[in-house]
Every structure is written in C-alpha cells, then in structure tokens.
C-alpha cells in the first residue's frame, strides 16, 4: 500500500497517522517464499521533523507459514514488528548506498508500507524455525518423518574404510 507523504511536507511538525492493510500474500526472503497466513493492519505515524526529514514509527503483527528446519512440516510463526526510523528526503540514492541505508520503500513522495514491513520481517525472522524443540527431523535415507514413525533404515556408516576413523573418534569421546 502506497502512502503519499506530500501532505506531511507542507508544515514542520505536521503529523499523520494511518492504518493501512498489509497486502502481500507471501513474504519472499533469502531462504524462500513463505505464505502470509494472517496480518494485522500496519499502523504508520509520519512526522515532519523539518529540513526535509521525516520520522516514521509504527508496527504490525504478521503470521507466516514457514517449514520446520528439521522435518519440513509447516509451522505458523508470528512476528510482532515495530519500526522507528528517520528518513532524510534530501539524500540522493548514491548517498543512501554510501551510508548503507536501504530505504528502497521510499520513492519520491510515496512510502510503500508493504515493502517496509517486508524489510522489517527480513531482520526479525529467526535463523531456524522448529515445529518443536525436540524435533527429530527426517530420515536421510527414506525421508520418513521421525516425529511420527520409526524407519528400519540402516544408520551405520556405509563405507567400511571409515571404520578406523570412527574408532579414533570413539577414543576421544567424552563420557
């Protein structure tokens, strides 16, 4: 959802608060594309600080469907996002890149609330999402989910030449 900021620029100290819907159907991150299960409206407060600077604050709650890192079962993960940023509208694209400031959600006088939420999501998602703490994962041979069933796969080392190295590791194993 695009928010027009031109009204806020008219007077220093002017403030505008909006509730806009989060319209993305899926979040596309570095690890893949995750469907959005539910989301609350994004609350955005934009305040003119003067000298072409804006303060953007707000937050939302987004629930994503993410596969478990061990067993690949779908897990609903809820992120409560809050943001508090200061935008310098007189900075050029080159200056933003130089300062490593990724404000790709601001173009001209428009603020893209969906893109801003996606940027915050990429910062707040955990490295791994597990369905439960003691998730057993899947069998690396047959693919059975070990949380629900046990398989009769041979879990011994396949290469007999590695038996000598395994004996060395057993000698240094802590009790």
Rounded to whole angstroms, how far apart are CA atoms 64 and 1?
19
Containing structural domain, residue 173: 136-175
Q: Are residues 141 and 67 in the same domain?
A: no
Q: Are residues 145 and 120 in the same domain?
A: no
Domain count, the chain: 2
pLDDT of res. 157? 58
Model pLDDT for residues 47-66, shown as the tens digit of each residue: 988 887 888 899 999 999 99
Rounded to whole angstroms, how far apart are CA atoms 29 and 83?
19
What pTM was estimated for this model as a whole? Answer: 0.74
pLDDT of res. 136? 92
Model pLDDT for residues 122-158, shown as the tens digit of each residue: 889 998 999 999 999 998 888 899 999 988 887 665 5
In a domain, 131, yes or no: no
Rounded to whole angstroms, how far apart are CA atoms 44 and 53?
16
Q: Are residues 18 and 79 in the same domain?
A: yes
Q: With the C-alpha atoms ordered 52, 7, 86, 120, is the resulting torsion angle positive or negative?
A: negative
Q: Are residues 60 and 39 in the same domain?
A: yes
């Amino acid at each position: 959802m695009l928010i027009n900021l031109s009204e806020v620029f008219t007077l220093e100290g002017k403030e505008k608060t909006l509730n806009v819907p989060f319209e993305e159907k899926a979040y596309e991150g570095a690890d893949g594309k995750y469907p959005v299960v539910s989301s609350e409206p994004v609350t955005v407060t934009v305040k003119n600080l003067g000298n072409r600077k804006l303060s953007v604050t707000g937050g939302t709650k987004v629930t994503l469907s993410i596969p478990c890192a061990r067993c690949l079962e779908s897990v609903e993960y809820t992120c409560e996002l809050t943001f508090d940023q200061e935008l310098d509208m007189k900075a050029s694209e080159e200056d933003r890149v130089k300062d490593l400031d990724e404000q790709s959600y601001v173009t001209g006088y428009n603020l893209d609330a969906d893109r801003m939420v996606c940027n915050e999501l990429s910062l707040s998602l955990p490295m791994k999402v597990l369905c439960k703490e003691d998730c057993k994962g899947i069998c690396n041979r047959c693919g059975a989910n070990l949380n629900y069933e046990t398989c009769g796969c041979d879990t011994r080392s396949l290469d007999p030449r590695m038996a000598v190295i395994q004996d060395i590791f057993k000698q240094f194993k802590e009790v």
